Amino acid sequence: MDGIKAAFARAKRENRAALVTYTTAGYPTIGETADVLLGMEAGGSDVIELGTPFTDPIADGPTIQKANTKALENGTTTTSCLNIVREARKRGLRAPVLLMGYYNPLLAYGEERMLKDAKAAGVNGFIMVDLPPEEAVRFRGHCTDYGLSYVPLIAPATSEKRMKLLCSIADSFIYVVSRMGVTGATGALSSGLPDLLAKVHKFSGGIPAAVGFGVSTREHFVEVGKVAEGVVIGSQIINTLREAPEGQGAKAVEEYCHTITQRRNPAVSPATNGHSNGTSHGISTDANPNGDGSGWISHSNGEAPKEISAADPTKEPASKSDPSNGTVHVDAVVTGGDGPGLADQLDALNTQDEKDPELMPSRFGEFGGQYVPESLMDCLAELEKGFDDACKDPKFWEEFRSYYPYMSRPSSLHRADRLTEYVRKEAGKGKGANIYLKREDLNHTGSHKINNAVGQALIARRLGKNEIIAETGAGQHGVATATVCARFGMKCTVYMGAEDVRRQALNVFRMKLLGATVVAVDAGTRTLRDAVNEAMRKWVEKLDTTHYIIGSAIGPHPFPTIVRTFQSVIGNETKEQMQALTGRLPDAVVACVGGGSNAVGMFHPFATDASVRLLGVEAGGDGLDTDRHSATLSGGKPGVLHGVRTYILQNAEGQITDTHSVSAGLDYPGVGPELSGWKDSSRAKFVAATDSEAFIGFRILSELEGIIPALETSHAIFGAIEMAKTMGEDETLVINLSGRGDKDVQSVAEELPVIGPKIGWDLRF
């Protein structure tokens, strides 16, 4: 922390802005990164941000995303990042270094372990792009215990109230986003920058502000330096590395930095006093009469002092400052006051003056939250407030229900007679529940997705947003969104993974027929997760006019609650219909689970009905004993992805792993946080059906009931059949038939030559 403060103080004395430079650890190679850090410093950099690569960087543009991907391909890990800093320190790096990245890799590594190891390696602090304020306060406190800095980010859309609180977290400097959007070099700076900086300085209490996002030239540097204490350059550093001849990246970066600063830092020899982070931790005593440093105590063992004293260290023996006796000297000690603490203040981070106690909870147990870039926080608060106002307005629900005929609601529910008899033959005497089908496949557009699409479009209109973006996997949500946009006269852009575009070409054409723009995302796994990444990035760029209709019960609060609220029409209707048909509630309800929109919509109305069993069926792919599945709740562990803490599929490093499912709509490495909460509380049970088992469900329903189901739903059918076999003949079970299968017929035909022989299905044409 002190090293960062000293760097900004030195720049101020020299009447210039401090240069803060960014590079991704492991890019272009792990071995070159230490050289790049040294090149930055030699070219005039004052502070260095070392990016810790993450598979799903929602706040970064294509330049840094590609660097992340390359670094991960090179085998870069959290340990690699720390070793890079350690190596650079050994070779003489004196500039303070901040680790900049996303929370999940740090969470997977372990916070306490990270702080300890980062300190030992020579790291000076952290910038966490997606850490929510309530956790940032806690994490910042731990950083302070280790003498490390936590740097908050402030964006143009940050409210004044929120800005005050974020400024109060800062201890070394404040990172100010110069424009709305994701990282990347641009040709022009925001015209609102001076006003933004004026507000930051008003609340910062003298803490320096460094401006980034879009700065790339000497002219930018000089212009920004007139209103800010620091300037951050990142994407242009990555571009310089990409364009440099092999092995010449560090030198190219040094020369680029020199063109920005017009100065060079003299090379220094490696530290010999045991310090690896370029800051002195010695304490002055009266044993240093010559001022030559001979009386300073070097804390080479890195031990954290345990006792605090306000006594004047210059009046005491030097031994009193040695960590071995556990004393650290300060100027004064404050035991605390009666007023609210920072964490208490941060509990009210909405844009309204007082937090409304009736606003939806952001957590489901330990799951949920808002792990997003600061540029999204106020927009999420606006969305939460707008949604809450709509929920309290009877006229809104009246308008929503007025579209039921358009949506083909209520959807029908009926007993699957032949499927029930099939189960009873398989199960034996006295066994085999009565199976009912909730026919969401009969909705307009062919799935449950229309429920949420209509609801969110109406919310967007209330918020004055006239452009809609969405992500889609199997294409059903994309089709539903394109449909409502056509109905309401809104511009629509749908992001879809390139692999899903191939698998669901018919739905791509349907979206285009409806007037939507379809953008294929040819990055990462080229599936739903990459479509979500891109949609979130694009939303950040146009928050003032655009609403993101997220299709599943995923993402940052309030999205999971919004999706669940509109999809709960499924479970509410099921309750009423089963009461009318059977005189009681069902004994079990079953739904497939990808992100979880149809499952949470069916389950939530039954959540407090203890007699009703809830079964979610995930995509088991080639099996849970392989790496090729998408069964997040069955095979994952808690983490953070796409703005929410939930169960995710990840490796030991916290990187999101590739998924596989024969059904595009379930091919996702996360799940809704409410479902995660139900898993941990055991309110719901989750199992996995393999690709082959899903094909069995697909075949059985088609042949016995004359209903071709979506491949997503086919997983639920198989799981429901297995469950029904264990139930009595007097019991009832409802399957949420979430989508129809015409979109999947081609995929089934393509997979049958491989899967057919495994399940004894010889269907040739």
Active-site positions read 49, 60
Q: Cα–Cα distance between 751 and 763 in angstroms, integer?
A: 11
Retrieve residue 748's tokens: 């089934």
Q: Cα–Cα distance between 457 and 488 in angstroms, integer?
A: 8
Retrieve residue 724's tokens: 């029904």
| CB burial readout 314-342, b (16+ within 10 A) else e | eeeebebbbbeeebbbeeeeeeeeeeeee
Q: Cα–Cα distance between 32 and 14 in angstroms, integer?
A: 31
The neighbour count for residue 9, using CB atoms within 10 Å, is 13
In the beta sheet, which residues pair with residue 210?
175, 230
CA dihedral (117, 637, 631, 452) in degrees, to 10, reads -100
Q: Cα–Cα distance between 550 and 571 in angstroms, integer?
A: 20
Retrieve residue 558's tokens: 């309030």
Residue written as tokens 């890990």? 77
Q: Cα–Cα distance between 690 and 698 in angstroms, integer?
A: 12
SS3 sequence of 711-759: HHHHHHHHHHHHHHHCCECCCEEEEECCEECHHHHHHHHHHHHHHHHHH
The neighbour count for residue 286, using CB atoms within 10 Å, is 13
Q: Yes or no: say if 422 and 431 are a contact pair by the CB < 8 Å rule.
A: no
Retrieve residue 206's tokens: 């003298």
Helix axes 476-488, 449-462, angle to 10 degrees: 40
Q: Cα–Cα distance between 295 and 326 in angstroms, integer?
A: 18
| CB burial readout 388-415, b (16+ within 10 A) else e | bebbeeeebeeebeebeeebbbbbebee
Question: Taking the alpha carbons of 481, 482, 483, 484 in that order, is the dihedral positive or negative?
Answer: positive
Sheet holding 367-368, edge to edge: 363-364, 367-368, 644-648, 637-641
- Does a cis peptide bond (omega within 30 degrees of 0) precede residue 28? yes
Q: How far is CA 7 from CA 44, 46, 300, in A?
A: 11, 6, 22
Closest CA to 359 of 334, 337, 386, 340: 386
Question: Taking the alpha carbons of 589, 591, 595, 600 in that order, is the dihedral positive or negative?
Answer: negative
Closest CA to 747 of 714, 700, 707, 706: 714
